[in-house]
Amino acid sequence: GQQLNQSPQSMFIQEGEDVSMNCTSSSIFNTWLWYKQDPGEGPVLLIALYKAGELTSNGRLTAQFGITRKDSFLNISASIPSDVGIYFCAAANNAGNMLTFGGGTRLMVKP
């Protein structure tokens, strides 16, 4: 079945540092999304991307939809303690339909 390979699996960084994580696939997708999940809660949508090459920002977060439509990355600038959590990439062949998720990147921020 389709799989998304997300890396790194975990990151332990100093407050104020920038963070980068990415997601790759052997299949083409038409939509890429990034979610953040805190313990005991559901994933919260951070950024949605619908066009190859698209670069979108949401505050300190920036994400890009790869030109090949097989990858995406998420950058977080000037990290703060509340950025702690698990970040998931997700992708779909048709917007809004079945989402395929990556394995997640666990982010830990040291104050």
Partner 1 sequence: DAGVTQSPTHLIKTRGQQVTLRCSPKSGHDTVSWYQQALGQGPQFIFQYYEEEERQRGNFPDRFSGHQFPNYSSELNVNALLLGDSALYLCASRKWTGNEQYFGPGTRLTVT
- Least distance (Å) from partner 1 to the CB of residue 101? 3
Q: Mapping DSSP to helix (H, G, I), strand (E, B) and coil, where does residue 29 land?
A: coil
Under rule CB under 8 A, residue 32 binds partner 1: no
Stretch that binds partner 1, among 10-18, 59-67, 70-78, 87-95 (CB under 8 A): 87-95
In the chain, DSSP assigns E strands to 4-7, 10-14, 19-25, 31-37, 44-49, 55-58, 61-65, 71-76, 85-92, 100-101, 105-110
Under rule CB under 8 A, residue 66 binds partner 1: no
Tokens standing for 111? 């104050």
Q: Is there a contact between 42 and 64 (Cβ–Cβ < 8 Å)?
A: no
Between 13 and 86, CB nearer to partner 1: 86
Interface residues for partner 1 in 6-25 (CB under 8 A)?
6
Q: Where along the sequence are the contacts to partner 1 (CB under 8 A)? A: 1, 4, 6, 31, 33, 35, 40-45, 48, 50, 88, 90, 95-104
